[in-house]
Structure formats: structure tokens, C-alpha cells
Structure 1
Amino acid sequence: MKTYCPTFWSRDSGVDHSASVICLNDILPTVGQNTFAYFDNNDCLLAGETILLIWCPPVSDLNGWSEQPSEIALSHLLKANVVAVAQASEPSAAAIHPAHYGKRKYELDILSCERFLTVLRALQEDPTSRHLQGIGSAQGNFLMWDEVNWCGSAAVDGFTYLTANTLNEAHMELILEEVDDDIIGLFSVHIDPGGTFYEFGRKRLTGQELRVIKHALDIARPLCDSQADYLVACSK
């Protein structure tokens, strides 16, 4: 089942996203109901297929987890059925947000919704998981994490969030568990001009993978939230 992270979620709920306090349940997609989301044009979803979706709260949805790492704990993994495929959004007076222009809008039936970190805690050992992308060169094979020119990290609810960029236009993210001298990969994102790739799976890092991630953790700058808390738990 393929994983996606929509570019934008529909704001048709009427919630004021600029308010100083927002109820999490008011903006979280509801199981059993349909909603809409906007995707990059490179994401080719088909009506009738079932997919996994990463839902992030407003600040990290717009700017990424690196700008509001605490929102990893409030992010969710959804399972959804693609109900209908819409055309690319055109500029109009009725458009909710100018950033939606040119994006593809899909209607989604939400089948399940679970806290993202709860999903990671339940992952089983999977030595076949490939959290670290490798590339080949005339000098041999190496890992993209060997090429980082910036990286940052944050502790979130017992996990470590690690993110990095390279000079070759690659962006990478990892969610890890650190147990004594062991580092266990649970989730990874790799973005480069060729696309966006997500990987789930509990894998204990060894050898070259362990070396490069330990080095990245050593040089990573601490990340902290760019905005004050604004989400509260409340019932619908």
C-alpha cells in the first residue's frame, strides 16, 4: 500500500486556522466521512485504490516537522480509499487558498486513523527495510547521509527525529529509537528530483548505516518549535 503526504488538506470544515487555539479533533479527518486533499501533480492516485496518508497539524503541514517537531506526536497515519479524482485547481474567486492552484484535488473516504507514533511503536522487526538511500559513483557506492551539508534533530516522546539536506537537492528525514548504543530506524522520508519515498519498518542499524547516522546525530543542530502551542484536545 503506497504512502502519500498531501500538499494541503481541505479546510472546508470552517475552522479558523489563524485562531490562537484550535481543537485537534475539529481539524483531524473523521473515520467514516469523506474529505478532500490536494496532491502534487506527480502523485498519480487512482479512483478505487486504498492508500496510506500522513496527516500533520497546520504548522508542520505547511512548513514541515523540522519547524514544529512537537507536532510529530500529534500527527496521524490514515488509511483512505480514493473516491474520485478531480482536475488541477484553477485560479478563481472561490479558491480557498492560492497555494492550491495547479494541485490535484482528490475526494477521500477515511477508513482508519491512528496516531503516527503509535503506529511506529507497533512495528515489527523488518531487516529488509531500506531507510537510508544509497547511490553509486566512479569511486564506489555510498549513502546519501554521507553527503549532508545540514542536519537537525529533536527528541519527541521517546523518539529521535533527524532531518538533513545535501548539496545534491536531497532532503531526508528519519524517526529513530536510541537504546543504549543501538539505533533503530522506524520511519524514513527521502525526497529528491526523482520523487518522494516513504519507508516504514523496525530495523536495527549496523555497519555503514550506523556510522553515518551516529555522525549525523553528533553534528545535528537542536530543533525546537517555531510557534507556541495552539492545539488542544477536545471532543467533536
Structure 2
Amino acid sequence: MCWDESWEDVIELESLLPKAGKTYPIKLDENEEYAEEGKAYILWSPPHSELNGWWDKRPSEILKSYVLEGILSNAVSNYEKREYFFDFQIERYTRLINYFSEIPETKISPLSTVDQGNGSSRIQWQDADDLQKYNLGDYLYLSGIECESHLELILSCIENRWYVHYSATLHYPAHYETLITKYHLKSKEQKLIETLIKKANDITDNSMDSLEDNKIYGAEYW
């Protein structure tokens, strides 16, 4: 990300989006210390969303986020600062919502769970608050907070059946867990998510108004 350009009022998307066939130096932080050399998939989002998250003013930028597919190499670690450096050669990039159609359906739930003292577990979303939602046409974005974890889902509803396409559990200070999937919610899971959707506040997002598809607004710090 070129942050000098990222503070402009309006930016050409292509000027910031990494190019297929090129290699870029990247730095990962302590939340991503599990990264290894080899095949990798990295979520790229516009600068405002990268800085503040989709839930801050601009969930519509999900529509202008991409999955970068490529190879990580030349790993260097700075253990004192918990920083990890790689070269990332990009093989291709795909718009996130288009990538959903490439994923086969799975029976493995992406919803994160928390272990209980009696040996059982509960779905982490069960106790989420600060719930927010945003309609993305065929998809719905849902976010919430449980303890020190930020939770995100991108869902679709087909004939009253809810599917999860994206699930992120952003633990603090532990590592991130992000999945692109296609999972049909089981009955109890669907009832829970439907309850949360009803409770969630709508996010007001005017960032797409009068803005061409190939452009984005620059970052705003909180």
C-alpha cells in the first residue's frame, strides 16, 4: 500500500491495487506469525478499510476488496519487534465477492467457538454485542464484538437458507482467523444469526454515492 497516495480525496483503484506478475515486499505483524513461505492468499482492501476495518463508515468497500493469490518467499523475522517480512509474488487477483463463486460448499462450520469449563463449547457469536450490519445487494455484512474479539460475517440468503461466504475472528492479541467458504448454516446456527441480524444496527455508508466503479475515496483516520 502506498500510504502517501492513500490520503487523497479520490483515488483510482488500479493505482493502488497490486498487479499480477509483480513481486512486492510485505510486512506481517505478530497476529500473523504463523505465515510460512509458499502458496498464500492475502485479502486486499482499500486504504480506509485496511486502516479502520469495514465496519467503520465504509462496508461498501467490500465490493472493492480483492483476494491476492501468490507465493511468499525470502522470509526474514524480527523477533524483538514481532515483525515478519516476505517477498510476495502475485499470480492473480480476484474481486472478493467474485471469489465466493469459486469456493465449493463445505459441511465444516466457519463460526468460531469458545471452550467452556465443562468441556463443551459455544459459538462465539452467541455473546456478541455492538452488532452492525450492511446490505451489499446479494450479500449481507454483519459485525460484532465478543470479549476482545472482533467478529465478521458475509452472508447470503437463498430461499430462506443462510450461507456463510466469509468469516473472520480477529482475536486480540492472538492471531487472526479468516476463512472464505460456502457453508449452509445448520438450524440452530441460523436461528442465532437471524436473531443477531434483527438486533444489529444499520451502518450508514455514503461512500459509494456519485463514485465511479474504478475509484475509491482515500483513507480517513478515526
Q: Give the TM-score normalised by the residue count of structure 1.
A: 0.79
Residue 121 (structure 1) shift: 2.7
Aligned-partner Cα distance in 2 for 1:226–1:89: 42
Residue 24 of structure 2 corresponds to residue 39 of structure 1: no
Residue 208 (structure 1) shift: 1.9
* Residue aligned with 1:208, SS: helix
Structure 2 CA distance for partners of 1:22 and 1:231, relative to 1, 3 Å: farther
- Specify the alignment match of 2:158 in structure 1: 179
Stretches of structure 2 lacking an aligned partner (at least 5 in a row): 216-222
Aligned-partner Cα distance in 1 for 2:207–2:84: 29
Spell out, residue by residue over 1:93-113, the C-alpha distance to the aligned partner (whole angstroms, 9 max, x if none): xxxxxxxx8643322111110
The residue type paired with residue 81 of structure 1 is: I
Residue 17 (structure 1) shift: 1.6
Spell out, residue by residue over 1:9-60, the C-alpha distance to the aligned partner (whole angstroms, 9 max, x if none): 4x28xx622222211111000000111222112423334x111000001110
Aligned-partner Cα distance in 1 for 2:60–2:79: 32
Spell out, residue by residue over 1:124-170, the C-alpha distance to the aligned partner (whole angstroms, 9 max, x if none): 22112x2212223246532111111221110113100111101x212
Structure 2 CA distance for partners of 1:144 and 1:215, relative to 1, 3 Å: same
Is contact 2:41-2:67 (8 Å) kept?
Answer: yes
Aligned-partner Cα distance in 1 for 2:212–2:72: 28
Is contact 2:144-2:151 (8 Å) kept?
Answer: yes
User: Which of 21, 25, 28 lines up with 2:17 in the alignment?
Assistant: 28
User: Which of 113, 136, 157 lines up with 2:93 in the alignment?
Assistant: 113
User: Which of 168, 174, 183 lines up with 1:189 in the alignment?
Assistant: 168
Is contact 2:60-2:208 (8 Å) kept?
Answer: no
Is contact 1:158-1:177 (8 Å) kept?
Answer: yes
Q: Give the RMSD, CA atoms, in angstroms.
A: 2.6
- The percent identity for this pair of structures is 20
- Specify the alignment match of 1:4 in structure 2: none
* Residue aligned with 2:157, SS: strand
- Specify the alignment match of 2:214 in structure 1: 233
The residue type paired with residue 22 of structure 2 is: Q
Structure 2 CA distance for partners of 1:189 and 1:173, relative to 1, 3 Å: same
* Residue aligned with 2:18, SS: coil
Spell out, residue by residue over 1:69-89, the C-alpha distance to the aligned partner (whole angstroms, 9 max, x if none): 111000000112113224549
Residue 197 of structure 2 corresponds to residue 207 of structure 1: no
Aligned-partner Cα distance in 1 for 2:161–2:77: 47
Structure 2 CA distance for partners of 1:145 and 1:46, relative to 1, 3 Å: closer
Residues 59-138 of structure 1 mapped to structure 2, 5 A cutoff: 59-67=48-56, 68-88=58-78, 103-128=83-108, 130-138=109-117
The residue type paired with residue 143 of structure 1 is: I
Residue 138 of structure 2 corresponds to residue 148 of structure 1: no
The residue type paired with residue 156 of structure 2 is: E
Stretches of structure 1 lacking an aligned partner (at least 5 in a row): 1-8, 91-100
Aligned-partner Cα distance in 1 for 2:163–2:30: 33
Is contact 2:23-2:90 (8 Å) kept?
Answer: yes
Structure 2 CA distance for partners of 1:22 and 1:135, relative to 1, 3 Å: same
Which has the higher relative contact order, 1 or 2, with Cα contacts under 8 A spaced 6 or more apart? 2
Aligned-partner Cα distance in 1 for 2:124–2:77: 35
